[in-house]
Amino acid sequence: MSAVSHYSFDLQFQEHILASFLADDKFFKEYADAVLKPAFFGDEVLRGVAEAVQGFYETEKELPTREALLEAVKVSIAPGRKLTEYQSCVETIMEKVGMNTAYYQGKAVEFARVQLWNSYLNQGLILIGQGDTEGVNRLVKLAFKEEGRLN
């Protein structure tokens, strides 16, 4: 797949996106793999918090509480950053949990859908250049199948 773009939203909006995942266990289970990609976040602290949320969920099979997330981010600190930056970010995100959840979830899914199609279309252009129309056909079918997971 081609390079992943960051969310095209400002950092406060991205905090709301992360908070929307923490507000809804069902949404998290269904979409986290496709939509809550740490690489989508435009700030390394937010990426670290997203990694901590995912890591916690993988091991505990539940969304972290504020206290659990504050503990989980300790392993996600990027070189040159401070724990207090992550703690502050977690506090800010937790304050946003429950605010316009469906709106932010929709925006995150929309962004992931655009990223998916961008990646597949770029791959398709390479295959077209190689004259591989069967490969393009397989790729388009795969793209529609993947997009179906985002509906």
The average pLDDT across 110-125 equals: 86
The average pLDDT across 101-126 equals: 89
The average pLDDT across 29-53 equals: 91
Residues 15 and 40 sit within 8 Å (Cβ to Cβ) = no
11 CB contacts (<8 Å, ≥6 apart)? 42, 43, 46
The average pLDDT across 48-63 equals: 95
The proportion of the chain whose per-residue pLDDT surpasses 70, expressed as a percent, equals: 96
pLDDT-based confidence at residue 2 (cuts at 50, 70, 90): very low
Cα–Cα distance between 98 and 1 in angstroms, integer?
A: 33
pLDDT given at position 33: 85
This model's pTM is above 0.85: no
pLDDT given at position 4: 60
pLDDT-based confidence at residue 3 (cuts at 50, 70, 90): low
Burial status of residue 79 (CB atoms within 10 A of its CB: 0-12, 13-18, 19 or more): exposed
Residue 15: is its pLDDT beyond 80?
yes
